Chains A and B, each alone.
Chain A
Amino acid sequence: MPPSQDPFYAGLGQAVRIGTELLAALIVGGGIGWVVDTYLLATGPWGMVSGLILGSVAGVRNAYRSAQRWPKS
């Protein structure tokens, strides 16, 4: 069963992708902010706050980008 021809599997594959796409960017953004706060500059919570905001923006952007590749059914 080659699922690439099956619209159900292709759609399911796309749907499974987007959730982790959002999460991963948030982890990376928050992580970078945390590292900047604790090790590089003593900027209180602000590095992590802005990192989380940038991360969520990047996550939405990634999700949007992968939705643009949506297979035509």
Chain B
Amino acid sequence: MEDSPLHPFELHNFLSIHLGGLDISLNKAVIMMWVVVGLVTILMIKAGSARQLIPGKLQSLGEILVDFIRGIILDTMGKDGMRFFPLIATLFLFILFCNLIGLIPGSYTVTSQIVVTAVFACVVYGMSVVMGFVLHGAKFLGILVPPGTPGWLLPLMVPIELISQLARPISLAVRLFANMTAGHVILGVLFGLAVSGGLLIGWLPFAFTIAMNGLEVGIAFIQAYIFTVLTCVYLGDAFHLHGSEDHAH
């Protein structure tokens, strides 16, 4: 019996590989990422290859997913945002499947590692900054000055805006990581209670585990959705420069 509810998040190397000071050992998380990538690829290729006028089950699923992502992009970035469709669809599908597959007992939730979510957040935010400077040049620094700020407030507003900009990748990374980790810790604690409680009282926490698992499916979906929406919002901010608030709805 595991003594700590954080025990499932520890990673043990199956195979230690060190390549020139770089640690590329195989562990549970790496293998789960391969599984997710393979699964999403096979699913989308199979769903996309049917091309029937009246879609079958798999094709409908693919169409719902693609249409859903397209809806998010059009809602937040407008028509220009469709050029980011491949990036955003990949992010959404990867995170969604990581979250959902992690709920299967015995598997591993890749998104409960802050390294993974932090890399996603840094890529998204770094891309929005680079794109802003490429598109707008030095005018992109105007993102630090909210429209309609009087001049004497600038020394106060610029640090605040700088902090609120820098908080974006952190909130993106921490939100996904914290939600997935917390959900699995709760499941672990409840299941530990069920095992240690015995038959007389143990059925109660066990019933809660099942209910929590249902809730976690919803959370998995919502977290993937939020990550995608915020990716679109941040990219749209860099793209439109102050215009994005009107694009939101």
Contact = CB atoms under 8 A, between A and B. Distances in A.
B236 to A, nearest CB: 11
Interface stretch (B10-18, B133-141, B187-195, B220-228): B220-228
Interface in B203-230: 218, 221-223, 225-226, 229-230
Given A16-B179, A29-B163, A4 B68 contact: yes
B31 interface: no
Interface residues of B, number: 32
A58 B222 contact: no
Interface stretch (B48-56, B99-107, B108-116, B166-174): B166-174
Interface string A1-41: 01110000100110011001101110111001000000000
Contact of B167 (A2, A9, A59): A59
B225 A58 contact: no
Contacts of B222: 3, 9, 12-13, 16
Q: Which interface class (under 10, 10 to 19, 20 to 34, 35 or more) fits A?
A: 20 to 34
Given A4-B71, A12-B222, A16-B175, 17 more contacts: A2-B67, A3-B225, A9-B221, A9-B222, A13-B225, A16-B179, A16-B222, A20-B171, A20-B174, A24-B174, A25-B171, A28-B163, A54-B159, A58-B164, A59-B167, A62-B167, A68-B245
Interface of A: 2-4, 9, 12-13, 16-17, 20-21, 23-25, 27-29, 32, 54-55, 57-59, 61-62, 68-69, 71-72
27 contacts: A2-B67, A2-B71, A3-B221, A3-B225, A4-B72, A4-B75, A9-B218, A12-B218, A16-B223, A17-B226, A20-B175, A21-B171, A23-B171, A23-B174, A25-B171, A28-B170, A32-B163, A55-B167, A58-B160, A61-B160, A61-B164, A62-B167, A68-B245, A69-B245, A69-B248, A69-B249, A71-B249
Q: Which 7 A-B pairs have the closest CB atoms?
A: A24-B171, A58-B164, A25-B167, A58-B163, A24-B167, A20-B175, A24-B170
